[in-house]
Structure 1
């Protein structure tokens, strides 16, 4: 939904961008003016749950239209925010799952340190005491690194995803879909949603795959990690546009779906064939 100036692509100024994130007293992330209005309107007629790999602190830097949101999923599903505060019961359940599934983030990070150096790694960070990620110089990054690191992580219950300059190392026990399923159940239980209400979702990286497949129907942009790998699924639509314009297209798609959930999707967007 939001894009840095670099990731926004062509036509940035013509899109009437609205800044939605300030970091170190400087504008960092934007939406198109149209997307900003579309999200505000959507929040007034659907249960919108912002879902991100960002930590609660990183998510807190963003000011999304239509907020504040009652629920948000952060830390790739490791945290559920309720009125802006982490749900401690959910976090305890996540910590138990991670501990039962493989080595802790401290051990994984120690191993990772032995495989990197300052010639191509700008920083190594641990996020929310759950997972870690590298910020790298992509041009200097060894071509074999991700595959070799993934081969070490996979049998230990961890996975690896590269999204631009960031390489995430995530426990398999932490997923966006599990957290969203829990939030959906809460919204049905308190009467906000009816039983059997549909879930629609969007995402652009490998860490979003479980969320996209979990949803009744979903959409991804024609850019990012999933586009680079050619990932497709029969229930996932692909935008025609790229960059910040794709975010606007996704919100238009959400509007069409929530207004007429049983009608066909707009013809200007293409549905992925079976993978």
Structure 2
């Protein structure tokens, strides 16, 4: 096997009704893939469901999310069960659905050696908040934190100032819609995917020269997109608002859930090209001809 796929989930593979927009949600055939508090929350188009299930049957697919393991487990993702998944923005590697304690210990050591701890960050953050624009402050997996805010009321200078404070202490701050994340700089999706890739090479699942294809829409996906051999982002979300790019990056023509379909088609194209070029692999189109 010469391809590995790592993909973000929210607003890349799966979409809430709000993320799609009312018109798109009404026009598309969708499947609910997440129930939360007895109500449907996240969807995929029927085409995306078929494409992801087929992709997972052909190559290793690693769901790669900032969600905690408990939040990730709410999703009935096509192609499940996945041998590996990355949760908590790289703070957790799940193996056959179970947490890998060795990786978590490695992450905790890295955080302790690289900057401020979560308690210090929370203490400082609380001094900067105002109930007029902050709905809640939440801690995720005892590893990072995020605010749920009303963007229309959010002070213009909050995020730049908070980013500067975090950067000086080994943390990063980013905003995705109504959520503002503060995460340790040493906790990344790319580091967790590199570890998964190493394991898949060691056990012979993929070849040593296997190429990484990745997708994501937010600032917390940038390290993953930069580390990939082939990367794509949707034409919406935080990175699109920032105009973010990196050499070789593809950007979808579509937005919303249709961008998710386009990303999956792109994955299939990349995997087909790479598989056909595998050295020593017979060209299936030539079988039976001479």
Q: Structure 2 length as normaliser, TM-score?
A: 0.89
Matching of residue 159 in structure 1 with residue 177 in structure 2: no
Q: Name the counterpart of 2:14.
A: 2
Computing the radius of gyration over CA atoms, which structure comes out larger, 1 or 2?
2
Report the alpha carbon displacement of residue 77 of structure 1 after superposing the two structures with TM.
Answer: 0.3
Report the alpha carbon displacement of residue 70 of structure 1 after superposing the two structures with TM.
Answer: 0.6
Matching of residue 11 in structure 1 with residue 32 in structure 2: no
> What is the aligned counterpart of 2:240 among 207, 219, 227?
227
Q: Name the counterpart of 1:130.
A: 143
5 Å matches for 1:160-179?
A: 160-179=173-192
What is the CA–CA distance in structure 2 between the aligned matches of 1:237 and 1:36, rounded to whole Å? 22
Kindly indicate whether the alpha-carbon contact (under 8 Å) linking 1:55 and 1:75 is maintained by their aligned counterparts in 2.
Answer: yes
Report the alpha carbon displacement of residue 14 of structure 1 after superposing the two structures with TM.
Answer: 2.4
What is the CA–CA distance in structure 1 between the aligned matches of 2:184 and 2:87, rounded to whole Å? 15
What is the CA–CA distance in structure 1 between the aligned matches of 2:129 and 2:24, rounded to whole Å? 37
Q: Name the counterpart of 1:218.
A: 231
- Stretches of structure 1 lacking an aligned partner (at least 5 in a row): 264-275
SS class of match (1:81): strand
Report the alpha carbon displacement of residue 262 of structure 1 after superposing the two structures with TM.
Answer: 8.0
> What is the aligned counterpart of 2:56 among 43, 46, 61?
43
Could you say which structure has the greater relative contact order, defined with CA pairs below 8 angstroms and 6 or more residues apart? 2
What is the CA–CA distance in structure 2 between the aligned matches of 1:243 and 1:24, rounded to whole Å? 24
Report the alpha carbon displacement of residue 138 of structure 1 after superposing the two structures with TM.
Answer: 0.7
Count matched residues.
263
Matching of residue 116 in structure 1 with residue 108 in structure 2: no
> What is the aligned counterpart of 1:189 among 182, 202, 209?
202
1:134-188 CA-to-partner distances (Å, cap 9, x unmatched) read: 0001111111100011111111000001000000001001000000000011111
What is the CA–CA distance in structure 2 between the aligned matches of 1:151 and 1:257, rounded to whole Å? 38
SS class of match (1:49): strand
Q: Name the counterpart of 2:3.
A: none
What is the CA–CA distance in structure 2 between the aligned matches of 1:260 and 1:44, rounded to whole Å? 17
What is the CA–CA distance in structure 1 between the aligned matches of 2:80 and 2:135, rounded to whole Å? 34
Matching of residue 258 in structure 1 with residue 276 in structure 2: no
SS class of match (1:116): coil
Q: Name the counterpart of 1:239.
A: 252
SS class of match (1:11): helix
Report the alpha carbon displacement of residue 108 of structure 1 after superposing the two structures with TM.
Answer: 0.3
1:205-242 CA-to-partner distances (Å, cap 9, x unmatched) read: 11101000101011000001110011111221000001
1:78-113 CA-to-partner distances (Å, cap 9, x unmatched) read: 000001111000000000000011111111011100
Report the alpha carbon displacement of residue 261 of structure 1 after superposing the two structures with TM.
Answer: 2.5
SS class of match (2:61): coil
What is the CA–CA distance in structure 2 between the aligned matches of 1:220 and 1:186, rounded to whole Å? 26
Q: Name the counterpart of 1:200.
A: 213
Q: Structure 1 length as normaliser, TM-score?
A: 0.94
SS class of match (1:18): strand
1:59-92 CA-to-partner distances (Å, cap 9, x unmatched) read: 0100101101010000000000001111000000
Residue range with higher mean Cα deviation, 53-62 or 253-262 = 253-262
* Displacement over 2 Å in runs of 4+: none
What is the CA–CA distance in structure 2 between the aligned matches of 1:106 and 1:85, rounded to whole Å? 27
